[in-house]
Amino acid sequence: MARVGLYGVSTQSGHAFLADCLLMGLDVYGYARPSQHGMETVETLVEQGGIYLQRPAGRGEETSRFLPLGQAEVGHDLKRLVDGSDIIILAHPSHYQEDSAGRLKEAGLLEERRVVLVLSPSRTLATPYLWRILGEHYPVVCFQTCPYSCKSTSPGSTYIKRRKNSWIGSVEGEVPREPLAALKRMFPQLLTSRIPATTSLGNIGAVFHPATYLLNYDGILAAAAKNTVFPFYVEGIAGNSRVARVLGEIDQIRLQIARALGISVFGLADDPREEEWAAILKTVPMSAEDSADTPELKHLRAKCLQPIHDSVVSAQHWLAYTYGVARIPGESLGDAIGRTSTYRRRSYPQERYIHEDVPTGLVPLESLADRLSIPHEPITQIIDLYREVTGRDGRRIGRNLEPFDTEYLKRCLQGRLGA
């Protein structure tokens, strides 16, 4: 059994990963940086002796419960994390990944063996930046999205709204067979790909988060002033035609980048490939909610989705295989968001939506579009708005791709760098 390390157990997704690792009976060590929040989280988990898992009431068979730590551990020992793990999941926002890689290296990550790093999620072109720290072809698996729709309700409690039906993980560098097989056992619904564009250009966070947050900024502030919650997806996208239109434009730009690189694409405005998509999804068993899913059903779903594992798809297509939102050809992104039940429960704006997804999403997408001579004005406008609202230069602090030449980036995204 693979030993799993969680870097960032104090985060929202870190709590969810810990809960599922305990449910699966895995040998897990949860690391939190010794910040005030990290220390509070570890202290709470240790005092409780576990974590409270909350699930939506009346949805399937899985109920809310307390999960004891048992033989699992949580703490602040980075060397313990490195020495005791076969897989380390970075369960924190992507703009911290380079810093975390440097800290892991200082703790001995490369001394005896190469522990596989799982970036959850990686956002766009994370691996080339990590390779500058850890060495070319260091083993990395990039998750296209976090496996969970989740919230941390307290330092010792997690609310998992939903586990996503399926997602893509790009296998980058020299990833050994055994830890990869262990990762697939943990997540039977995971589709693996050797084409990094599937996650880097499959970055849905860059589509959904920054423009929605920044273009609804006044409404978000007004709701906060009234001590109410702004319905991020329902009001911010489905109920705002201007925002939905901009998101659709950004979505098409990333699909155009994929097509320019020769990657399989579903959902391009001038070539949607609807018949092919319908034929694939017709074979895929989807559930309205995930709690009744067995590992066998998750594995079957992933097997049926294999034809799209090397593709980049539109946001509407992503909603179809991730959340089971039936695809309606020609439907706007705003309308598809409005039909996504997950987004109607506890979906509120978070500042990380801009501080993560502008530097690690829109900035590299703008750079790629510019190098490939693809018009990108909607992306540029949102990056400029981010600077106007926050005073931060996303292009300077983010993944602007300046260290890499265009040919290297093309080969990287196409999975042609070799090992």
In this structure, what token pair is assigned to residue 271? 């070539």
pLDDT tens digits for range 4-51: 999 999 999 999 999 999 999 999 999 999 999 999 999 999 999 999
SS3 6: strand
Binning pLDDT at 50, 70 and 90, where does residue 61 land?
low
What average pLDDT does the segment 150-163 reach?
A: 90
What's 204-414's CATH class? mainly alpha
Res 3 pLDDT > 90: yes
Provide the pLDDT confidence category of residue 306 given band limits of 50, 70 and 90. Answer: confident
Tell me the C-alpha distance between 312 and 45, whole Å.
Answer: 39
Among 40-44, 168-172, 240-244, 322-326, the minimum mean pLDDT is found in: 322-326
Q: Encode pLDDT of 228-283 as tens digits.
A: 989 999 999 999 999 999 999 999 999 999 999 999 999 999 999 999 999 998 88
pLDDT at 74: 98
Q: Output the CA angle 318-140-7, nearest 5 degrees.
A: 90
Residue 299 has pLDDT above 90, yes or no: no
| pLDDT tens digits for range 387-409 | 999 999 999 999 999 999 999 99
Domain ranges of the chain: 3-194, 204-414
303-327: average pLDDT: 91
pLDDT score of 153: 77
Residue type present at position 25:
G
Question: Residues of 334-351 as b/e, b for ≥16 C-beta within 10 angstroms?
Answer: bebbbebebbeebbebee
- Quick: pLDDT tens for 127-140: 999 999 999 999 99
Q: Which pLDDT score, from 0 to 100, does residue 59 have?
A: 56
Rg, C-alpha atoms of the chain: 20
Those residues with Cβ within 8 angstroms of residue 122's Cβ, 6 or more apart along the chain or in another chain: 94, 97, 140, 142, 143, 144, 170, 199, 200
Across all residues in the chain, what is the average pLDDT?
Answer: 93
**Residue predicted with more confidence, 179 or 60:** 179
Higher pLDDT, residue 165 or 381? 381
pLDDT for residue 419: 47
Pairing, β 140-143 against β 167-172: antiparallel
- Are 3-194 and 204-414 in the same CATH fold? no
pLDDT at 113: 79
pLDDT value of position 335:
96
Q: 174-221, pLDDT tens digit by residue? A: 999 999 999 999 999 999 999 999 999 999 999 999 999 999 999 999
Place of tokens 């509120």: 348
CATH 1.10.260.40 fits 3-194, yes or no: no
